[in-house]
Amino acid sequence: MHEDVERCVRAVQSKDARFDGWFFTGVVTAGIYCRPSCPVVPPKPENMRFYPSAAAAQQAGFRACKRCRPDASPGSPQWNERADVVARAMRLIADGVVDREGVPGLASHLGYSTRQIERQLQAELGAGPLALARAQRAQTARLLIETSSLPMGDVAFAAGFASIRAFNDTVREVFALTPTQLRDRVARGHPAVMAAGAGESVATLSLRLPFRAPLCPDNLFGHLAATGVPGVEEWRDGAYRRTLRLPNGHGIVTLRPQPEHVTCTLSLTDVRDLTIAISRCRRMLDLDADPVAVDDLLRTDPVLAPLVDKAPGRRVPRTVDAEEFAVRAVLGQQVSTAAARTHAARLVTAHGQPVVDPDGGLTHVFPDSTALAELDPAQLAFPQTRRTTLTTLVGALAAGEIDLGVGSDWTEARSRLAALPGVGPWTVETIAMRALGDPDAFIPGDLGVRLAARELGLPATPAALTKRSASWRPWRAYAVQYLWATGDHAINRLPAA
């Protein structure tokens, strides 16, 4: 979009928040870059320069605006809508792969050479993987500086910097302030917040997760709460809580929907996992989606239009752990939501990693595929065919034969899943929708979808409904949310306070 100058100028002049994260505006006269919705008086068009990423704006010599804080805008929806190499690379960078494994590790995950990855990212985003990762580290550093009392040295390494010097240089270059000045600036403006944080554990951080409006929290948080696994997930006092498995330890997150953001409280055993924890929570809540684009297309269907108008901005409830969800999808085959929760809770109790939750309620991290590979099929309380399906899936995941990670190839993942015994179209598309994050995944054979189709006068057979759904592409996963919403099920509403 950044190449459509006229459209970008109109978005900046109208302060249109829908385009935050789509592109960034460099202001030549001020030397800063902003988000489109920056509250200051818009610059003259001849003084605007448009960039596809914050990293590209930084490389062009612009520093972040102190008013609109462009580094804190929602991420571009492109990276969750697309399945090409650039989109997969951006999801992996957000997941911290470059910080942990370097550019060679990123290239290895994608199956390309480092030169090809550099070239493709540079061509589309105006910055290579190192610059993109550096911009992300700067954002994490600002977050830690402003929301915690961590010593600056700890902030530097927690944000992923290799040295304190690199940390200081990057913060000064990107924000035009030293790390200490950044913290003092926030402390002066919000003394109560900083005072409250002074006595907390250094591993507990509170922040806000921005999103593009509108957002309908009912089905999003309702689905996560209604299908939550006891001990791993819970709904308490208007918030969804769950445990997280992270590269350097584990964590507990509390997510509470608000009108303009989602309040997020993270308790981490290692603050180096902050960036990846935020990325996974945003992905689970589908916060980088473009609801206006989705709803505008679905409204063109006269059957869906009333559903969209009734509750616009529905998101697809996803997951923080794709392998966990794949296991849970198999456990949920042909059983009720309550039965699926019971089966999953038994696995967690027998094989999950115990954790200590200071607030009580959460007891385990969901077992990974390596731990589940040791389970005894005879102890599973469901039919032999489903036991075989589960153990085969777990074995394939543990052996690395199926990649369901954020950088995976959606087509290949579907093919490998479908080749497993007992894994049919419903399971494949459910995993594609909620674990892989494919916005066009569609489950015409789902009971809830079939009931909604019958009630709305849509074709009832999977083949006919799939054909009818062609006009909903590429947003069929969102159409499923609107179809599910026609039913009287707990997944469609927030739990009672």
Find all residues with CB under 8 Å of 146, minimum gap 6, and list them.
182, 183, 186
**Residues across the chain:** 497
Q: Which residue has the tokens 């993987």?
A: 129
Nearest to 330 by CA among 319, 340, 320, 342: 340
Find all residues with CB under 8 Å of 382, minimum gap 6, and list them.
331, 335, 343
Contact 174, 71 (CB under 8 A): yes
Contact 141, 161 (CB under 8 A): yes
Other C-beta atoms closer than 10 Å to the C-beta of 7 total 15
Query: Residue 18 and residue 11: Cα distance in Å, rounded?
Result: 9
Nearest to 186 by CA among 220, 229, 143, 223: 143
Q: Which residue has the tokens 């690379």?
A: 89
Nearest to 367 by CA among 340, 394, 389, 388: 394
Structure tokens at 294: 């989705």
Q: Which residue has the tokens 């009672």?
A: 496
Contact 101, 33 (CB under 8 A): no
| Strand pairing category for 48-51 and 24-27 | antiparallel
Structure tokens at 410: 């959606």
In the DSSP assignment, the letter for residue 78 is H
Query: Residue 448 and residue 426: Cα distance in Å, rounded?
Result: 12
Query: Residue 425 and residue 462: Cα distance in Å, rounded?
Result: 10
Contact 67, 378 (CB under 8 A): no
Contact 300, 307 (CB under 8 A): no
Query: Residue 67 and residue 361: Cα distance in Å, rounded?
Result: 40
Structure tokens at 378: 């005879």
**Catalytic site positions:** 34, 446
Burial of 379 (C-beta count, 10 Å sphere; 0-12/13-18/19+): exposed
Position 245: which residue type? R
Q: How many degrees, rounded to 5, is the angle at CA 75 between CA 69 and CA 78?
A: 145
Position 182: which residue type? L
